[in-house]
Structure 1
């Protein structure tokens, strides 16, 4: 495959993942609150709605794996994101709980088709870029925090249904990206089937399920404890979670360099041990600030572990990338379902809360001890194999590509350096932000000026609604700019060295 085509395909994959992952995470976060408060659903109906989507997704994922091994994976993923978008539309227009069940079915099926096909598509490029899944995970993290900032800043302005319409719009853009993309030809001859893959990857799938169980359980425990133990509101809870999501967005690629140096099993073991420390520390119920710091460390651990698991599964799949990703997604979903169910059941009492925290820690510690055996049983290499450079890449001729003038080659190189420089991009964002806020301040509608010099404001003014629509837009823009600043500085600080 041509290098330019491969890079363009990888960018399309990451963009589609970011556009879909963010709205999906926001929906999972807001749906129980909205269904209960706006549609008057009982706790049992909320549970049934969530369980229905999970069940449909679990059933469809193996089917999605077969489709991804037979048909163009970009088209299969696009079909999935269209169904996902339709589920947002149904949620946005439903008058009651009845149609919400239809939306749950559409979302479960669409999510299964999209994620299985997209991960299989990413796996196509693993031989040329052993960090493909780390970059995908980073894109998902970036999409998540951006979606949370936009949705939770705008929800008081456009209501829950308006947020769902924004999610549908993001899915439409993701579908257009995937429909314009071309996948590699799918070769099914002599590819291993579901049972063969299941037997070969059984130890790794058990580890995937355990990791997902711990991640989902710990996240739910943290969410419930912030809401019920510390009595925090929606915006305050989000402020605790967002730093961890930002870690997801810029740390995975850097951590992949660490994987190349120390090996997959060591990284997985260290990540699980670190997550176990967070789960155990959660039981002591420290302050929200301490919980935010602990969540950042736990997010860093998961950012190291999950891309490694995905890469191991993809390498073990051979020609059956679609089926392998279907099995992987099913194992992850099963683990997450068990984790959230057990966390919810055990949270009620003080003793149950501590049992849940220490139980998750014990599971993670056990996983850290069996990682090496699981990876060896699957039969993949301990260290990712970096793709060999072609003679043209090694030689790096002065005039660039054949037939290209030195001036054109220098121009391409300069453009690439500009795109690769996060501080240059941030500086452009900062100049635009300052100029716009200066103009708004002269008109009396600058949110940061009002926040600093306008006297005391309620928490509602900072998080949900600041009054005039220009102030609300300025609030959203300010939050995004602050996070963009942290992200850009973090990328510079953690930029990988050549190795």
Structure 2
């Protein structure tokens, strides 16, 4: 029963993370555009709006860590999701920039409470599943690309404010999931305090800040270069980023098997070195298609590194999971803030796009050299400690009976059934799609038929609005089927994990 509860709690954590991460990433992407075009905010006001949310989140995160070590972590995370949702509501109804500042405060506080408490809650299950943070990172990536597809296909119908209402609804569902969840009891006795944790984990926190600085800086550089250098629109920019977000959702669990084989410091060093090469390679990429491929490779490297850092911090925390995650989140936020600021300054300087890319590469390369010392000084194991097997999972002795031997292939059979079910589900989705689109083609309202044989169409027809509502629904359905196909094929390719 304990194993069942642990798995259920892990599923609740991942669902809540996916529901909240996606809208938050969409908001970060749309907020500057919306504030400037819809509210008439100046560049200084847009900068102040984003800086206010960052400042509030930075201040509240250590407080959130203390709360997560004192009260039920699921309830603390649920409060954060509610505040997150309220920030979306205020953005959706605000008539001007003044009330948007209130939304920024709510979002900063809500994000701090939610992510600190949720990561601490995930850390509770690390002893039973050493891949807990890899699975959480995958759920966040899945929520991100689903939210981007939904938002960018619906924005032409419901405008920015409608997208904000959708974000509020997703946060409300996340809060409901966490309020119905059961958390492990929080123990504060003999737990290390904030300053003790800070001193113990200082080298690792520096590494976390460096990683976040490089990741945020590279993402912003790519965004600005697509917008300013290649003059791409909103949908086209998102099309470059979404494959990287899909990689975030597919690879982390698989890459964790690689961590088990070669060790944490090697994986972190390799990931940072690879990210440095990709960051430098971005400066030579000739067009958006190559930039998308480079971003996918960079995303794969970050998908390997970030869950390892989170697991190391959680293991070093002892009983103070909340405070440790508060410090971790603060270090990541500080690094991301510095990274975006420096990327913007370098991009607008004489060094330009290429100089900014090489700056990010140099930072990542430096991080790869300090990884081993940072992890060793924190004092955690080089290899993740796999959870102890239950009696039913342990290997059978050589003298096992015929009945026992005959039961050993059952897990293999179960894996085969899961793969078969996955392909059967995809085949059902594809079959329904073909039947409906054939009927719509007869009526002259099939989006894939019009896209392939009609036209010519501009980029807005493919990404924003295709005219008739049946064409728009067909466009969304086509995107969903393409992603479903990539997801199914990707999971099949990565099914044999090196555990």
| C-alpha distance in structure 2 between counterparts of 1:46 and 1:436, whole Å | 44
Q: Partner residue of 2:212?
A: 212
Contact 2:257/2:498 (CA < 8 Å) preserved in 1? no
Match of 1:359 in 2: 359
In structure 2, the residue matched to 1:143 is 143
Are residues 1:177 and 2:168 paired? no
Take 2:443 and 2:172, find their aligned partners in 1: how far apart are those partners? 36
Equivalent runs, 1:27-106 vs 2, <5 Å: 27-106=27-106
Deviation of 1:447 (Å): 1.4
1:395: how far off? 6.6
Unaligned runs of 5+ in 1: 397-409
Instruction: Give the CA deviation at 1:422.
Output: 3.0
The answer as to whether partners of 1:418 and 1:424 remain within 8 angstroms in 2 is no
> Shift of the alpha carbon at 1:227?
0.5
Change (3 A) 1:322 1:282: same
Matched residue, 1:298: 298
User: Counterpart in 2 of 1:127?
Assistant: 127
**What secondary structure is seen at the aligned counterpart in 1 of 2:477?**
helix
Greater shift after overlay, 279-288 or 133-142?
A: 279-288
Out of 313-322 and 431-440, give the one that drifted further. Answer: 431-440
Q: Which residue of 2 aligns with 1:406?
A: none
Structure 1 SS opposite 2:392 = helix
CA RMSD, aligned part only?
Answer: 1.9
Counterpart residue number, 2:436: 436
Report SS of the residue matched to 2:394.
helix
Q: CA deviation at 1:491?
A: 1.1
Other-structure match for 1:343: 343
CA displacement, residues 370-403 of structure 1 (integer Å, 9 cap, x when unaligned): 100000000000000111111122279xxxxxxx
- Give the whole-Å Cα distance in 2 for the aligned partners of 1:325 and 1:475: 41
Report the counterpart of residue 17 of structure 2 in structure 1.
17
**3-state DSSP class of the match of 1:391?**
coil
Q: Does residue 1:318 correspond to 2:322, yes or no?
A: no
SS of structure 2 residue aligned to 1:191? coil
List gaps (5 residues or longer) in structure 2.
Answer: 397-409
8 Å CA contact retained: 2:34, 2:160: yes
How far apart in 2 are the matches of 1:37 and 1:14?
Answer: 34
The CA deviation at 1:349 is 3.6
Residues 16-43 of structure 1: per-residue CA shift (max 9 Å, x gap): 1111101100000000000001100000
Kindly indicate whether residue 148 of structure 2 is the aligned counterpart of residue 165 of structure 1.
Answer: no
Indicate the larger mover: 274-283 or 419-428: 419-428
Q: How far, CA to CA, are the matches of 1:442 and 1:67 in structure 2? A: 60
**What's the secondary structure of 1:386's corresponding residue?**
coil
State the distance in 2 between where 1:415 and 1:243 align.
27
Describe the superposition over 1:407-426 as per-residue Cα deviations: whole angstroms up to 9, x where unpaired.
xxx9xx86994488532332
Say which SS state the counterpart of residue 393 (structure 1) adopts: coil
Q: Structure 2 CA distance, aligned partners of 1:416 and 1:74? A: 35
**SS of residue matched to 2:393:** helix
Alpha-carbon deviations, 1:128-182, whole Å to 9, x = none?
0000000000000011011111111111111111111111111111111111111
TM-score of the superposition, structure 2-length normalised?
Answer: 0.94
Cα distance in 2 for residues equivalent to 1:382 and 1:429: 44
How far apart are 1:346 and its partner, in Å?
A: 1.4
Q: Which moved more, 1:455-464 or 1:302-311?
A: 455-464
Q: Provide the residue aligned with 1:403 in structure 2.
A: none
Is 1:383 aligned to 2:383, yes or no?
yes
Cα distance, 1:497 vs structure 2: 3.2
Q: Secondary structure at the match of 2:191?
A: coil
- Tell me, in whole angstroms, the C-alpha distance in 2 between the residues paired with 1:61 and 1:222: 28
TM-score (norm 1): 0.94
- 1: distance between equivalents of 2:67 and 2:3? 27
SS of residue paired to 2:305: helix
The equivalent of 1:400 in structure 2 is none
